[in-house]
Chains A and B, each alone.
Chain A
C-alpha cells in the first residue's frame, strides 16, 4: 500500500473521530487526537466549522439564533468559507455587516486562533459546540445576544452584581440546565467537564506567569515555583 493511501486512510479516520467528537461520543484518547490535529490542520478545522453549521441547520431553529435564517447561513458559510477565514483574520475588530454568515466560521476561527496555543482550547470549542447547539435561553434571562452582533456564541447574562464600585461585570456563559432541556444530561456533563478542564488549563498557564512575575520581581523563586506542583497534581 502506498504512503499516500495510508495518509488518506488516516485522514478519513481523523474525520470520523471529528464527527464522533462533535457528537460528544469520543473517547478521551480520540478527542485528544482530534484536538492535537485540529490545531495544526486548517482543512480539519474548516471541516469542523462546516460540521457544526450543518448540525445546527439540521437541528432546526432550536439554537439561540432561532430568529435568523440558519439555512441561508449554512449555504453562505459553506460557499464562502475560505473567504470567511481570510476576512476574520484580516478584519479583526470589524463586526460583520451580515448577521448570519460569520457565525460559525468566525466562531471557530476566533476560538482556534485565539486559544490555539493550548491544546485544550479545542476542548473549549467542543464544549461550546455541545453546549450551545440546543441552547434555548429562558425568557427571564436578559440575553445580551438579542441586541448584539452574532459574534456572541453563547447567551450571556449580566450578573446581578447590585450596586457596587467595582468595574467588572460577571457574565454567565450559559451552561445552565434550564437552557439545555433539549440535550441529554450526559452531553451537558461532558460539556461541563471540558469547560472545567479548559478553565484549569487557563489557571495553570497563569499560575506559571504569576510564578515568573513573582520570581523576577522579588528574586524569591523557590516558593513561587514549588507552588506550581499543586496545579500539576490536579
Chain B
C-alpha cells in the first residue's frame, strides 16, 4: 500500500515536471536547481557515504560537512574507505590531504580563494542545455534528475540527481559526446542536518604532523613582475567558449624546486587547471593521459634559453586539454 502511494506521488510529481518541460520557464528552473545545488553543498551540514565508479574501479568514500556558521568556518572531511587510508580535511583556508603512502600535505592559502562562478544560472546555460527530466530515488531520498548537455565537444555532459528537498547532489553521471559513461558518483546513505558531537569531533581532528606545507599566494600580487629575471605570468591563447579564469595563484611545485603558476578556469560546470613551471631537467617531453574524467596533458614551452613545463589537468576532454596546453604563453607586457 505504501509502495502504491509512493508510485502515485512519483507519477504526480513527474507529470508536474513534464508539464514544466513544456513551459518557457524550464531552463531557468533547471538553472535555479544548479545554483541551489551549489549553495546547499555549502550552507547545509550533512554526512554520508558514497561510491565512485570509473571504468572497472569502484571506490567507497565517506563525507562529513559542517556548514559555515556565525563562529565556525565551513569544514569538511572526506575519507577513502577502500585501499590505502587517505583523507581530506578542509577547514577555512586550509586543506590537508593525508595519505598512508605519501604522508600529510597541507595547503595553506594566504586568504580564502574567491568563490568560483560555478553552477550559476545564465553562466552555464549559454554552453549547456539544462533539462529537468524526471523524479527518481537515490540513497532512500527522492531526487530530481537534471540533464546538463554540452552544446559543443569541448566539454562533458552530466546527469545529476539532486535531492528534491535540499537540492544536494545525490548522484552524478559524467558522459562523453558519444553518451558513454565516464564516471559515476552516487550516495548510498545521506543524513542532512545537525552533526552529532562524535561526528563533529572527527571534523576537528587535524593531522598532528605535516610532512609538506604548500603555501599558496595569490597571483594578484604584482611584486614579482617588478623584479628582474622573475618568471613571467602566463595566459592561454585559446579557451573553449565560456571558460573564464577564476583564480590565479603561485605555489611551490610538487615536482621541482621552483614555484609554479597555477591558473584555474571554469565554464560554470567543468573546471581545469593550468600549471606552468620552469623546467631544469630538459628530460620530460610532452605527454598526455586520460584517466576517467580527468585529462592531463604536459607540454614544453621554450622562451629563449628557458624551458617551461606546461601541465593542464581537468574534467574536460583530452582534445580540449591538448588545445589549451599548446596555447599557453607568457603574458606579453605592453609598454
User: 1/0 per position for B167-187, CB-CB distance to A under 8 A?
Assistant: 001001000000000010100
* A97 CB–B CB distance under 8 Å: no
B195 interface residue (CB < 8 Å to A): no
Residues on B with C-beta less than 8 A from A216 are 90, 93, 95, 107, 109, 112-113
A-B pairs with beta carbons under 8 A, tally? 244
State whether B299 touches A168 (Cβ < 8 A): yes
* Most central of B82, B311, B325 by chain A CB within 10 Å: B311
Name the A residues within 8 Å of B329 (CB-CB).
Answer: 166-168
Task: Judge if B301 is at the interface, Cβ distance under 8 Å.
Answer: yes
Q: Is B28 an interface residue (CB 8 A)?
A: no
Complex contacts, B249 vs chain A, CB 8 Å: 213
Residues in chain B near residue A154, CB distance under 8 A: 282-283
Check: B200 CB closer than 8 A to any chain A CB: no
Q: Which residues of A contact B302 (CB under 8 A)?
A: 158, 169, 171
Chain A nearest CB, measured from B215 CB (Å): 13
B315 close to A (CB within 8 Å): yes
A230 touches which one: B54, B229, B271 (CB < 8 A)? B54
| A198-230 with Cβ < 8 A to chain B | 198-203, 205-210, 212-223, 225-227, 229-230
User: Which chain B positions have C-beta within 8 A of A217?
Assistant: 113-116, 118, 246-247, 264, 266, 271
Query: What does DSSP make chain A's interface, helix, strand, loop or mixed?
Result: helix
List A residues 95-119 near B (Cβ within 8 Å).
95, 110-111, 113-118
Given contacts A165-B238, A206-B275, A221-B90, whether A227 and B254 have CB atoms under 8 Å apart is no
Asked if B127 is at the interface of the complex by the 8 Å CB criterion, the answer is no
Q: Quick one: closest B residue to A95, CB to CB? A: B305
In chain B between 278 and 308, which residues have their CB closer than 8 angstroms to a CB of chain A? 280-287, 289, 291-294, 296, 298-302, 305, 307
**Is the C-beta of B138 less than 8 angstroms from some C-beta in chain A?**
no
**Which single member of B105, B115, B272, B298 contacts A218 (CB below 8 Å)?**
B115
Interface 1/0 per residue, B97-141 and A, CB below 8 Å = 100000001010100111110100000000000000000000000
Question: B273 contacts A215, CB within 8 Å?
Answer: no
Q: Is A195 an interface residue (CB 8 A)?
A: yes
Chain B: interface size category: 35 or more
Q: A168-B329, A205-B254 are in contact. Are A227 and B296 (CB under 8 A)?
A: no
Which residues of chain A are within 8 angstroms of B229 by Cβ–Cβ distance?
Answer: 93
Task: Decide if A128 is an interface residue (CB 8 Å cutoff).
Answer: yes
Can you sample 11 A-B contacts with CB below 8 Å? A117-B254, A117-B256, A149-B305, A165-B327, A170-B300, A210-B313, A217-B247, A220-B38, A220-B41, A229-B57, A231-B294
**Residues in A lying within 8 Å of B, measured CB to CB:** 93, 95, 110-111, 113-118, 121, 124-125, 127-128, 148-149, 151-154, 156, 158-159, 161, 164-175, 195, 198-203, 205-210, 212-223, 225-227, 229-234
Report which B residues bind A (CB closer than 8 A): 38, 41-42, 50, 52, 54-55, 57, 59, 61, 63, 74, 76, 78, 80, 82-84, 86, 88, 90, 93, 95, 97, 105, 107, 109, 112-116, 118, 169, 172, 183, 185, 212, 229, 237-238, 246-247, 249, 251, 253-258, 262, 264, 266, 271-273, 275, 280-287, 289, 291-294, 296, 298-302, 305, 307, 310-311, 313-315, 323, 325-330
